[in-house]
Amino acid sequence: MGCAVSTTGDKAAQARSKKIDRDLRADGERAAGEVKLLLLGAGESGKSTIAKQMKIIHELGYSKEECEQYRPVVYSNTIQSLMAIIRAMGQLGIDFAEPTMGSPLSPVIANYFMEKFEKNALDTAVRKPKCWFRYVDDTFVVWGHGLTELEDFLRHLNSINPKIQFTMEVEKDGRLPFFGCLARQFFTYASAAEEGELTPDLVMLMKRLWQDPGVQLCFSRSREYLLNDSAAYYLNSLDRISQKNYVPTQQDVLRTRVKTTGIVETDFSFKNLHFKMFDVGGQRSERKKWIHCFEGVTAIIFCVALSGYDLVLAEDEEMNRMVESMKLFDSICNSKWFVTTSIILFLNKKDLFEEKIARSPLTICFPEYDGPNTYQEASAYIRMKFENLNRRKDQKEIYTHFTCATDTSNIQFVFDSVTDVIIKNNLKDCGLL
């Protein structure tokens, strides 16, 4: 008969071993409870809106004081959107529908007289504007030369007919010199609004402009120039946002557009996990700042603007936005930095895409596409194009979701699914599953 003897030393060793096991498991559980998310994607793909949604969904949203801080941003976005449309009218050759006013001549005669004046003025000018268009008694021009040449051009205009004299004011960014009283008044009021006020006179003028059929026609052609996605949302809300005691709503805050520079961190807790979400600037100039965020990242949420398939980049008017997103996704998905990192693909702005696809064909971006221009077929094709960029299909799965970043219920539902995937993969990586 054998006999096993347990010494005090053996018991101590077993206790130490059990403690090490417990500590390792505790460390693993702590690691599994910490989630570092990197929000990546090209510019204007909706990353910042996703980050704002996390605050609304998981941190009780924006306080009244925080919402009030967004009032100047709402006003600035609204004004800049209308300015962008008016600029584009000149570029696209679209006239205002409102008849000429303020002249003692009849509109027909006044228009004929001004057409002759403009032809003479432009034919004899040493330097010519890139484009020229009239609204009521005011003339807008897009100028591509220096300020000295612009002043020479003004003197030239005033030398043609002593009864027609122009005054001039140059917009802050220097892109749109304009002439005339009404335009000067509009931009003067707009400048005051950017300080945080939307005056009654400016609101009245903006509503009048926004209702003009020519402005609406130009808005319908917004794929041909750069325009904030929320332009119609704010311009249709002028009565509400111009109220004296206006406080931006959560939805108003979500729709504000401020270009992200650098890295913005949002912390929140959900399903016993602590999340650190990093919103990274999407413009090309911002991408070099990503590198130090790579280490230890749990998952990447890559945002793509579905509605960008027929648009060009703000920083490169030769590059299609969807093509740029695909190039960036290819580099991220197949990077050595992210061999074991979960990749979550948000095909965002599905609402804008569904509205646009019926009138703007997918072949603008994908000439080889021969399917119908319906939401279901076209969105499935884009999903396939992105998922096929994954060169490690046997090792890495792409988790794709169609999203509308401004729809809180949609993002809440999608992020719940995303979190379940993260929990599963995190536990697996820590050896707990």
Q: Lowest mean pLDDT of 134-143, 271-280, 325-334, 343-352, name the range.
A: 134-143
- Would you place residue 177 in the very low, low, confident or very high pLDDT band (cuts 50, 70, 90)? very low
Task: Report the 10 Å Cβ neighbour count for 105.
Answer: 12
Rg from Cα positions in the chain: 29
Whether residue 141 is predicted with pLDDT greater than 70 in this model: the reply is: yes
349 marked as part of a ligand binding site:
yes
Q: Residue 312 gets which letter from DSSP?
A: B
Question: What is the per-residue pLDDT across 331-372, written as a single tens digit (0 to 9) for each?
Answer: 999 988 888 888 999 999 999 999 999 999 999 999 999 999
- The amino acid sitting at 272 is N
Whether residue 143 is predicted with pLDDT greater than 60 in this model: the reply is: yes
What angle (nearest 5°) sits at the alpha carbon of residue 266, between those of residues 232 and 316?
Answer: 50
Q: What is the pLDDT of residue 335?
A: 87
45 marked as part of a ligand binding site:
yes
Cβ-Cβ contacts under 8 Å for 204 (sequence gap 6 or more): none
256 marked as part of a ligand binding site:
yes
Average pLDDT, the chain: 82
Q: Lowest mean pLDDT of 26-35, 369-378, 424-433, name the range.
A: 26-35
Question: What is the per-residue pLDDT across 208-266, written as a single tens digit (0 to 9) for each?
Answer: 888 888 889 999 999 999 999 999 999 999 999 999 899 999 999 999 998 877 788 99
Question: What is the per-residue pLDDT across 392-414, written as a single tens digit (0 to 9) for each?
Answer: 988 889 999 999 999 999 999 99
266 marked as part of a ligand binding site:
no
Q: Lowest mean pLDDT of 85-89, 143-147, 252-256, 402-406, name the range.
A: 143-147
Q: Which of 172-181, 258-267, 284-293 has the highest mean pLDDT?
A: 258-267
Whether residue 6 is predicted with pLDDT greater than 60 in this model: the reply is: no
Question: What is the per-residue pLDDT across 376-395, written as a single tens digit (0 to 9) for each?
Answer: 999 999 999 999 999 998 88
Q: Got the DSSP string for 123-174?
A: HH-SS--SEEEEETTEEEEE--S-HHHHHHHHHHHHHH-TT----EEE-TTS
Q: What is the pLDDT of residue 321?
A: 94
Q: What is the pLDDT of residue 286?
A: 58
Task: Report the 10 Å Cβ neighbour count for 374.
Answer: 13
Q: What is the signed CA dihedral for 298, 40, 290, 282, rounded to 10 degrees?
A: -170
Contact 279, 302 (CB under 8 A): no
Whether residue 72 is predicted with pLDDT greater than 80 in this model: the reply is: yes
**Three-state secondary structure call for residue 347:** strand
350 marked as part of a ligand binding site:
yes
Distance CA 299, CA 63 (A): 29
Tokens of 306: 């579905």
348 marked as part of a ligand binding site:
yes
- The amino acid sitting at 80 is Q
Tokens of 12: 């101590």
Q: Got the DSSP string for 40-86?
A: EESTTSSHHHHHHHHHHHHS----HHHHHHTHHHHHHHHHHHHHHHH
Q: What is the pLDDT of residue 174?
A: 45
Contact 45, 304 (CB under 8 A): yes
288 marked as part of a ligand binding site:
no
Question: What is the per-residue pLDDT across 288-311, written as a single tens digit (0 to 9) for each?
Answer: 556 555 667 889 999 999 999 999
- Would you place residue 147 in the very low, low, confident or very high pLDDT band (cuts 50, 70, 90)? confident
In the chain, the domains with their CATH numbers are 36-62+260-418 (3.40.50.300), 105-160 (no CATH)
Active-site residues: which are they?
Answer: 44, 49, 257, 279, 283
* pTM (global) more than 0.75: no
What integer is the mean pLDDT of 273-281? 88
Distances (CA, A) of 174 to 129, 154, 169, 170: 13, 15, 10, 6
Cβ-Cβ contacts under 8 Å for 19 (sequence gap 6 or more): none
Q: What is the pLDDT of residue 282?
A: 56
Enumerate the β-bridge partners of residue 248.
Answer: none
253 marked as part of a ligand binding site:
no
